Amino acid sequence: MPSSGNEWPDWPECTAETGELDPENIKIKKEIVALYGEAALRKSWLAVCERLKSLTDEIATKRTATIPELAYDDVFKLGDEEKQRLRDVGCFVVRGLVPEKVASDWFEDLNTYVEENKPTITGWPAEAPFLLRLYWSRTQMEARTHPRAMALHRELNEFWHDDDDAAKSFAEPLVYADACRIRPPGVPFRGLGPHIDAGSLARWADPDYRKVYEKIWTGNPDEYEPYDLTVRKNADPALFPGGAHSHVLRLWQGWTALTSADAHEGSLMLFPEVKTSIAYVLLRPFFKPPGNKDDILDAEKWTFDAEDPWFPGVWRDTSQELSPDAFPHLRLKECLVHIPKVNPGDTVWWHCDMCHAVEIEHSGNGFSSVAYVAATPTTKINSAYVKRQLEAFMSGSSPEDFPGGCNESALKGYPGSNTTILNGDIGRKAIGFAV
């Protein structure tokens, strides 16, 4: 049953009292103020809060229906206008990457593999892991390098552009080996509330990452282009070490459903807008809310303040977190919406700057299972990581971004690192072999 706007899970609120108040943070704020000036930041703040009024009204009304759904083959036939609509929402469901039967077989294979190696495979939460530290199973390799997956990744990467690469060679997909999930029903999970991946404090602190958002800093948030790779390809989301930070830029985060999952069945929630919401998150640390709670949505009444070390929802070693009171103009309680029901073989995609969360409850009857498979472009930083990741593939060990997994080469039924599971040259290239 779709959620009404009134239910809100008991995720923790981000507060200054529980926040990271490192004095270094003030220096980072002041650097940005010195570069762009208070007036430009305030101009952007007012424009962004104003724009959010109509955006959040629309999302709060349409809710899940805001998220576009399209059939696999249709992704390749989109006109410019339809593509732009998908870019504007910043997330969508692509149905039928593979037939349901194929995906269900992938699930059975994975589930058997996990059952047969239960004592060895680790994951999160530690007491009853279902986010599994498993990277090289046959199912995951299939979901990543299946020819239809590779073609989709390439197409989705092409939604972006790079001024240094008009031919879009960056769109050649790479494999980013991520984990998988086999979540049983009936067990609440609070570990992944509203957050944005691809770094946290690095967005303000890393000069290249900060430059990605230059239009926002200079008072022109309308001109900010979230699909420009020109500067972003050099940004470092892992500037501050932390287990949650990916060294790789994923243009689209995503997963492939191995089972069906409806809303409230351990699935995903998205804030289906990216351009204005990320601008708001970036500007928010520079402004203090008015004392009177009734004025909270009046952007004019917020005070500029670069002396406060608090970046709401930011701990440098983990992803950017969000909560309704700390980010009031996002109206998260109404606008963080459940994705539509997915069936085995469907995929869901969201922009790397998009706020998302994992549902606390799983009130369905069966496992809710996905393989995390992102659309990963060929950039210098990504290629260097994939080269290192290839060694992990060859040895069956955990990739650099996901330490702590087991030695998969010792698992019963380990498919091996022979390249027959890579679906030919495109898959071989994507995992880092020269072809």
Contact 374, 176 (CB under 8 A): yes
For residue 148, the minimal CB distance to Fe ion (Å) is: 24
For residue 71, the minimal CB distance to Fe ion (Å) is: 26
Contact 375, 144 (CB under 8 A): no
Q: Of 178-186, 193-201, 216-224, 391-399, which segment contacts Fe ion by CB under 5 A?
A: 193-201
Closer CB to Fe ion, residue 197 or residue 206? 197
Closer CB to Fe ion, residue 197 or residue 359? 197
x-or-dash string of contact with Fe ion, 144-183, rule CB under 5 A = ----------------------------------------
Closer CB to Fe ion, residue 113 or residue 271? 271
Closer CB to Fe ion, residue 196 or residue 422? 196
Closer CB to Fe ion, residue 197 or residue 262? 197
For residue 197, the minimal CB distance to Fe ion (Å) is: 4
Q: Of 67-75, 80-88, 124-132, 191-199, which segment contacts Fe ion by CB under 5 A?
A: 191-199
Q: Of 72-80, 195-203, 221-229, 278-286, which segment contacts Fe ion by CB under 5 A?
A: 195-203
Give the 3-state secondary structure of the chain: CCCCCCCCCCCCCCCCCCCCCCCHHHHHHHHHHHHHCHHHHHHHHHHHHHHHHHHHHHHHHHHHHHCCEEEHHHHCCCCHHHHHHHHHHCEEEEECCCCHHHHHHHHHHHHHHHHHCCCCCCEECCCCCCEECCCCCHHHHHHHHCHHHHHHHHHHHCCCECCCCCCCHHHCCECCCCCEEEECCCCCCCCCCCEECCCCCHHHHCHHHHHHCHHHHCCCHHHCCCCEHHHHCCCCCCCCCCCCCCCCCCCEEEEEECCCECCCECCEEECCCCHHHHHHHHHHHHEECCCCHHHCCCHHHCEECCCCCCCCCCCCCCCEECCCCCCHHHCHHHHCEECCCECCCCEEEEECCCCEEECCCECCCCCEEEEECCEECCCHHHHHHHHHHHHHHHHCCCCCCCCCCCCHHHCCCCCCCCHHHHCHHHHHHHHCCCC
Q: Of 88-96, 137-145, 197-205, 254-262, which segment contacts Fe ion by CB under 5 A?
A: 197-205
Q: Of 60-68, 189-197, 263-271, 295-303, which segment contacts Fe ion by CB under 5 A?
A: 189-197
For residue 203, the minimal CB distance to Fe ion (Å) is: 15
Residue nearest to Fe ion (CB): 197
Pick from 166, 168, 173, 148: nearest CA to 158: 168
For residue 401, the minimal CB distance to Fe ion (Å) is: 13
Closer CB to Fe ion, residue 32 or residue 257? 257
Among 197, 265, 273, 401, the residue binding Fe ion under the rule CB under 5 A is 197
For residue 195, the minimal CB distance to Fe ion (Å) is: 6
- Residues binding Fe ion: what is the number (CB under 5 A)? 1
Query: For residue 188, what are its two tokens?
Result: 């609440």
Contact 107, 259 (CB under 8 A): yes
For residue 315, the minimal CB distance to Fe ion (Å) is: 15
Q: Of 70-78, 96-104, 192-200, 295-303, which segment contacts Fe ion by CB under 5 A?
A: 192-200
Q: Of 33-41, 196-204, 255-263, 414-422, which segment contacts Fe ion by CB under 5 A?
A: 196-204
Closer CB to Fe ion, residue 269 or residue 426? 269
Handedness of CA 223, 224, 227, 232 (dihedral sign): positive
Pick from 153, 147, 158: nearest CA to 98: 147
For residue 244, the minimal CB distance to Fe ion (Å) is: 8
Closer CB to Fe ion, residue 197 or residue 334? 197
For residue 366, the minimal CB distance to Fe ion (Å) is: 23
Closer CB to Fe ion, residue 28 or residue 337? 337
Closer CB to Fe ion, residue 28 or residue 330? 330
For residue 356, the minimal CB distance to Fe ion (Å) is: 6
Query: Can you give the binding site for Fe ion, defined by CB under 5 A?
Result: 197
